[in-house]
Chain A
Amino acid sequence: MSKRIETTDLNVYYSDFRAVEDVTITIQPRAITAFIGPSGCGKSTFLRTLNRMHEVIPGARVEGEVLLDGENLYGAGVDPVRVRRQVGMVFQRPNPFPTMSIRENVLAGIKLNFSRMPKGEQDDLVERSLRSANLWEEVKNRLGLPGSGLSGGQQQRRCIARAIAMAPAVLLMDEPCSALDPISTLAIEDLMSELKEKYTIVIVTHNMQQAARVSDTTAFFNIAGTGSPGRLIESGPTDKIFSTPDVQATEDYISGRFG
């Protein structure tokens, strides 16, 4: 059920400030695409336009097209709520619902929407999602307890479980490992490699090794200077971007000779 994303000439604004300029990119299904680039170049901003999360910020707007398997997400009559059910998102910081137990958190997407689901199916979905997120063994004995006692890495994996319980076509991850130790990071990277069999995965990362390790395609974003909009400099197969990029700036950034 994995889907392809294409954007053409996408411009993203915060009120009058243009944060991202003219991004045209194709994101392949059943693959991991990594966004890299210096802080403030608009990676998160661009990522959030892919599931229409950008517009929840007052004054924020988007110009251009985002096609999900050919269908424009910003077309007339498109319901952002339906878009977000197909394009899931994992945030930089784990954001579990504090009023819910571990189990309820995993089922949050279903429960909050009042969808009816027999208990047996629910149990099954919880187990499958938590297993996919490599968390089942650690929490199976305390599913009914509040999740605040989980470690940071466990919480992040629970948020991933929550996102995949919705069976999205695309999974967007904004620096999912930035607060995690190397072991949890590896667990999540393994998880991404498994998940790409079924989902289109887009990940933002500041960790060059991570991008090189897990991604199939890498896209490099950059800004000319503060106040100017971020641009997509180049994108291509990860091997190529990391060995023989077309643009000098990409090579400088990757090899740490940036700025």
Chain B
Amino acid sequence: MTAITHRLGSETLTAGRLPKATIPVAIAASAVLGYALAVLASGTANIGLAILFAFLVFLVTVEITTRVVEGARQAADRRAGNLIAGAFLLALVPLGSVTFEAVSNGLARFDLAFFTQSMRNVVGEGGGAVHAIYGTVYVTGMATVISVPIGLLTAIYLAEYGVRNRLSKAITFFVDVMTGVPSIVAGLFAYALMGLLLGPGARSGFEGSIALSVLMIPVVVRSCEELLRLVPNELREAAYALGVPKWLTIVRVVIPTAISGIISGVILAIARVIGETAPLLIAAGFTASLNNNLFANPMMTLPVFVYDSYAHPGTDVQVYWDRAWAGALTLILIVMILNLVGRLIARRFAPKTGR
């Protein structure tokens, strides 16, 4: 037997270390250099170009200094870290920009009247979106009431009863197809369905809920199924071994174990549909007044309100656009509140840990 003789790298255990201040100094230097390069290249102080150049300069500087002082492995580590941080910051740009725009433009009409008045008999200034806010709450609330039981029960069938059988494969396939249905088609479906049942031209909040359910059910099914599958089989077996019937095992062991994830999944599904415009435009229609009856007459919703205010401004365009921005801001806030509430509920139900 011959001894293994090769070595990875050198024999020493220590390696050079860059001083702690290197990275801040590199950032500052790259910023200055990037700005200078941008001015040289385009003649003006283009901020986007400056940041791009600064980032490239930063990458190169860090790469070279690290490679020289600390070695190739650390250089690769820094390179990957910098690229990831860069991608993260890039992804933050649209988020930050949207938030900034919505807040700065939306605050103009984010007042009491906006939340207490509808657009009934309003042309020009004043008015509010109370009819649209109520409508959004009603329509998405109803869509959730329809989708969660259907979605959850389907997921339970897929994960617990129909494992790998033909029916569950077919269901999975069609759920995937449904995920890809364009939202306008969901609206047309609801419109046609209610047209068949109630006569042509019917529009109601409930019709909008049906359209949203078509979009929501597949999302709920997929997320709940994943979460149910994550529950370890050992827990099911533990319950069976105690003489607990299968349905009780599902209701009292499997679902409680997965409940916090299921709630987050449902909230994400709501957030996914609450901003839908096209299907609601068709199915729920639009109106200027508050409608508290989900089952008759058109019902305004926030996305449709935003679209309508933007696309059909009256004589005083700015007034309508201000309302559109305030509507958009309200919608963002609603989604944010939903997420927060979801997190709180999820934390409340999460499996208990700790001593």
Contact = CB atoms under 8 A, between A and B. Distances in A.
Interface of A: 51, 53, 56, 58, 81-86, 88-89, 91, 93, 95-99, 101, 108-109, 112-114, 142, 145-146, 148-149, 159, 162-163, 166
Q: Interface centre among B237, B239, B241, B352, by most A CB within 10 Å? A: B241
Given A84-B242, A113-B243, A166-B243, A93 B234 contact: yes
B238 A91 contact: yes
B141 interface: no
Given A81-B245, A99-B257, A148 B239 contact: no
B256 interface: yes
B244 A81 contact: yes
A138 to B, nearest CB: 12
A95 B231 CA distance: 12
Given A91-B234, A98-B352, A149-B354, A56 B240 contact: yes
Nearest to B352: A146
B334 interface: no
4 tightest CB-CB pairs across the interface, nearest first?
Answer: A85-B243, A149-B355, A146-B352, A109-B242
A91 B256 CA distance: 22
Contacts of B353: 98, 146, 148
Interface string B21-45: 0000000000000000000000000
Contacts of A86: 243
A112 B252 contact: yes
Nearest to A96: B238
Chain B interface bracket (under 10, 10 to 19, 20 to 34, 35 or more): 20 to 34
B237 A53 contact: yes
A146 B256 CA distance: 14
A117 to B, nearest CB: 15
Contacts of B256: 99
A163 B241 contact: yes
Contact of B239 (A51, A85, A112, A145): A112
B86 interface: no
Contact of A112 (B163, B164, B248): B248
Contacts of B234: 91, 93, 95
B343 interface: no
Interface in B244-269: 244-245, 248-249, 252-253, 256-257
Given A56-B237, A91-B237, A99-B257, A145 B355 contact: yes
Given A109-B242, A162-B238, 19 more contacts: A53-B241, A56-B237, A81-B243, A81-B245, A84-B243, A85-B242, A85-B243, A91-B237, A91-B238, A95-B232, A98-B257, A108-B239, A112-B253, A113-B248, A114-B248, A145-B354, A145-B355, A163-B241, A166-B243
A53 B240 contact: yes
Contact of A148 (B163, B237, B352): B352
Contact of B163 (A51, A53, A58, A99): A58
B80 interface: no
B230 to A, nearest CB: 12
A113 B235 contact: no
A95 B242 contact: no
Contacts of A85: 242-243
A108 to B, nearest CB: 6
Interface string B323-354: 00000000000000000000000000001111
Contacts of B245: 81, 113
B354 A146 contact: yes
A173 B53 CA distance: 67
A99 B236 CA distance: 13
16 contacts: A53-B237, A56-B236, A56-B237, A83-B243, A85-B243, A95-B232, A95-B234, A97-B239, A98-B235, A99-B253, A99-B256, A109-B242, A112-B248, A113-B244, A148-B355, A163-B242
Given A99-B352, A112-B252, A148-B353, A84 B257 contact: no
A84 B240 contact: yes
